[in-house]
Amino acid sequence: MKNIPRSGYMKLGSISWFQRVNTQAEAMKPMDEKGTKMKRAKRMFFPFFIFLFVGLQVQAQSNKPQYWFTYNHTGRFADRWSYGFDLNHRTNGIIPFNSSLSAARMGMNYHSKTGFRITAGYAWFGTFVPQQERIWLHENRLYEQVQYSHSSGKVNFTHRIRIEHRWRQLFTDAALDKTEVFLTNRYRYLIQLDGPIARRPNRQTYFRWQVANEFFIHNKEEIGYMLFDQNRTLAGVLISPSKTLSLAVLYQLILQQQPFLKETRTINSFRITLFHQLDFRKRKTITVEEIPVID
């Protein structure tokens, strides 16, 4: 029987068993690293939102947070043109389910090859007034907006400027007996960022994080003691089970001016938006990706 050298190993073919084990271990390292990153992301992500939700519920026992439910639909029927509409309902708390506002908005969109989208449309808003038999205060809006999207690496940036012409039905006295319609103009600027969240290779559902900020300015009308009207800061996750459907679950902090009280109110709210994006084009020469944008 021949002696096996101390420096040698039992060989299988031309590659040693030791080398094969090392090769398999090296091949498994990327998978292990991806799995570790996924586990870390889950551990950091889900407890954060659970803590945020529970903390805000405890904080807002006396002042219940708002919940915004929205269906946002867009349909692309030509390279340059698409339509869009959204339905919106807001409540103060879930139990009891106290309605505060309902809205419907529609518009036509013009698309450029460079990521610009120009929109004009109409919107109706109804504010619920529980103190009076008059259930709704109506508001009719005409609006125009310009939206631009671009990417840096894996992060998408969206900028939107919107001008609103608002015919608002408002109370004219403290007794809430009489109303009058006032015309005001408002300017809004939104910046939104979103990026991917790591997922397992065998899963088709995509997850993305979203953050955004939007502020509102009035055009010198007598709406209160300052031109600044409102600011919204949002953060959350976008879940996309398919190319046509996405669900955004976001926390929203609102700073809103109260003209009569001459103070700024803080509102905690949660937004749940279903994005439904359809494309009816048979031929596509403009292939800029449409990013779901908070409305």
CATH code at position 234: 2.40.160.40
pLDDT of residue 96: 58
DSSP annotation string for 255-291: EEEETTTTEEEEEEEEEEEEEEEEE--SS-S--PPPP
56-61, Cβ contacts within 8 angstroms, sequence gap of 24 or more:
56/251, 56/268, 59/268, 60/268
Average per-residue pLDDT for the chain: 79
On whether residue 260 sits in a domain, the answer given is yes
Per residue in 27-70, pLDDT (tens digit) is: 444 545 545 545 554 444 544 454 455 444 444 444 678 999 99
Domain, as residue range, for 222: 67-279
Per residue in 190-223, pLDDT (tens digit) is: 999 999 998 777 778 889 999 999 999 887 555 4
On whether residue 286 sits in a domain, the answer given is no
On whether residue 55 sits in a domain, the answer given is no
On whether residue 180 sits in a domain, the answer given is yes
On whether residue 4 sits in a domain, the answer given is no
- Per-residue pLDDT averaged across 79-106, rounded? 88
Q: Which residues pair with 33 in a beta bridge?
A: none
pLDDT of residue 227: 63
pLDDT of residue 58: 44
On whether residue 29 sits in a domain, the answer given is no
On whether residue 1 sits in a domain, the answer given is no
On whether residue 191 sits in a domain, the answer given is yes
Domain count, the chain: 1
- Per-residue pLDDT averaged across 268-283, rounded? 94
